[in-house]
Structure 1
Amino acid sequence: MEPKIKNRLTWRLRVMLAERNITTATELKRRLESYGYEITSSQLTRIIKERPERISTDLLDHLLAILRCEVTDLLRLDPIEKDQGGDDQPAPVVEKSEQPQKRRVRRVPDSEDESSDLTGPKITPFPISPSK
């Protein structure tokens, strides 16, 4: 069988930033703020690192103004070859973490106190003497 050719949008923000000598997310954030667009650092970093599932047209307008480019410079339609029997979604990219995960150790209490449970120790009210 002949493989199907499908197109996929490629997010090229990192390439455009490199071509414009914008080297950090902080610098891009500063430029966006000077144009009057507010965005958190974590949102901006996520948009730079990977292709966003959704992007507001307002942010896209500001990125195009800062980078002095067209939409086709940021989003490119690239062909992808897939086998006929394969699914439509591309295989997820699994990145190995550089540091091994630490094992979590469950700590056991030193003493088993019957007057306490998961909510804490039982509370005993103070005795109230009868008033005269």
Structure 2
Amino acid sequence: MKWNLRLTAANKGIWKASELQRSLAEHGLVISAGKMSGLWSGQPISLKLEDLDIICVVLGCEIGDLLTPEPEKVVRPGQQENLRAAAAAAAAAVSPAAVVPKRRDGRSLPPA
């Protein structure tokens, strides 16, 4: 899921986290500055459904405005190894083989 709080707030004319924080407090949701910073600039780790309801009321939006599904990021068990192998094969096909210098006398080079 992609968290779109900042974009949704901007569409409603709220440009600063502190503005949203005050509006949320007026509706009974008091959020610390640290948690507000996480909600505003990042992806929240956890969020109560009641808090999400208040955010939607304050912003006059739907949950779908705040959360956007990203189904392409879902990987089934076993697919992870296939994706890594495909990425490695693609990288190998794109980049030429590394050139390893050799000494003329046949001895190996010192470790790098």
1:16 to 2:8 alignment? yes
For the pair shown, the structure with the greater C-alpha radius of gyration is 1
Indicate the structure whose relative CO is greater, using CA pairs within 8 Å and at least 6 residues apart: 1
TM-score (norm. length: structure 2): 0.63
**Aligned-pair distance for 1:57?**
1.1
* Paired position in structure 2 for 1:85: 83
* Paired position in structure 1 for 2:32: 40
**Aligned-pair distance for 1:79?**
3.7
Q: Normalized per residue, which structure has more strand? A: 1
**Aligned-pair distance for 1:78?**
2.4
For residues 35 and 61 of structure 2, what CA distance do their matches in structure 1 show?
22
- The count of aligned residue pairs is 78
**Cα offsets for 1:26-73 (capped at 9, x unmatched):** 111110111011111111011111111211112101100011111111
1:68 to 2:60 alignment? yes
- Identity rate of aligned residues, in percent? 28
TM-score (norm. length: structure 1): 0.54
Q: Normalized per residue, which structure has more helix? A: 2
Runs of 4+ with >4 A deviation: none
For residues 38 and 52 of structure 1, what CA distance do their matches in structure 2 show?
16
Unaligned runs of 5+ residues in structure 1 are 1-8, 87-132
